[in-house]
A and B are shown apart, each in its own frame.
Chain A
Amino acid sequence: MVIISATEFDPGAHLNSFMDASQNAGAIASFIGRVRGEHNEVESLYLESYADVTERGIENAESEARARWPLIDVLVIHRIGTMRSGDPIVLVATASEHRRSAFEACDFLMDYLKTEAIFWKKQTTKSGSEWVEPRAADYQDNKRWS
């Protein structure tokens, strides 16, 4: 399941629901991404999406993960809008019979989200605002799966 949320979400509550719904899974891996403090210099982070296009892209990545690994369930929640330091941006949870599939699928989905997902990111610091693009290391991480 893919959810794009314009409002703050509670990763713990969503993870609990995900676990309750995946009773047959012996392994659940999860990742929570939050707005970094950057030494308290980041005042806000704004994320923009292209509505259904962004959602479809993430759903395709979920399908690819399900084709690669024997997953019982997948949850991706991604924020858009304005966030502040410490706010959750993303939750990825994967459920599988065994841990390796859950770990790897979670890692794969995060690499997709960091480099290919259709989001634009504007960071505001004390010295102004700028649109941010993926780091070289993010692209390198994503290449591991090709």
Chain B
Amino acid sequence: MVKILYFGRLSDRTQCREETIDLPDDICTINALKTWLGQRHDLGDALNLESIKTMINQELVHGNESIANAQEIGFLPPVGGG
């Protein structure tokens, strides 16, 4: 099970701020997850935009990382400032 978090404008698109999912076995990288979630929530390419940052277990990752050890994955649109 992995907890997926959607922040800011992304949560408007997914209609939820977080969800805990038992992912299919073949979803084992960030890119595969983005595609799978995109279809699940009808997001188009919203998760693939360059401005969306990804965190695995609260650490920023770049590129198509493995999600084998992920307990929590966050998708972060550009921050709005305080």
Q: Type the 1/0 row for B1-14, where 1 means its CB is closer than 8 Å to any CB of A.
A: 00001011100100
- Establish whether residues A48 and B7, one from each chain, have CB atoms under 8 Å apart when the complex forms: yes
Q: How large is the interface on A (under 10, 10 to 19, 20 to 34, 35 or more residues)?
A: 20 to 34
- Establish whether residues A90 and B7, one from each chain, have CB atoms under 8 Å apart when the complex forms: no
Q: Interface residues of B: mostly helix, strand, loop or mixed? A: loop
- Establish whether residues B82 and A90, one from each chain, have CB atoms under 8 Å apart when the complex forms: yes
B contact residues around A113 at 8 Å (CB): 81-82
- Establish whether residues A133 and B55, one from each chain, have CB atoms under 8 Å apart when the complex forms: no
Q: Are A89 and B82 CB-contacts (below 8 A) given A48-B8, A50-B7, A52-B58?
A: yes
B contact residues around A48 at 8 Å (CB): 7-8, 17
B24 part of interface (Cβ distance < 8 Å): no
Pick from A50, A53, A119, A122: contact of B81, CB under 8 Å: A119
Q: Are A117 and B82 CB-contacts (below 8 A) given A50-B74, A50-B76, A52-B58?
A: yes
Pick from B7, B76, B80: contact of A132, CB under 8 Å: B80
- Establish whether residues A116 and B79, one from each chain, have CB atoms under 8 Å apart when the complex forms: yes
A120 part of interface (Cβ distance < 8 Å): yes
Q: Are A134 and B55 CB-contacts (below 8 A) given A48-B8, A50-B74?
A: no
Given contacts A121-B82, A133-B79, 6 further A-B contacts (CB under 8 A): A50-B76, A117-B81, A118-B79, A131-B9, A133-B81, A134-B80
Task: Pick 19 A–B contacts, CB within 8 A, sort by A.
Answer: A50-B7, A50-B76, A52-B58, A53-B58, A90-B82, A114-B81, A115-B79, A115-B81, A116-B81, A117-B79, A118-B76, A119-B82, A120-B8, A120-B80, A121-B81, A122-B8, A133-B79, A133-B80, A134-B80
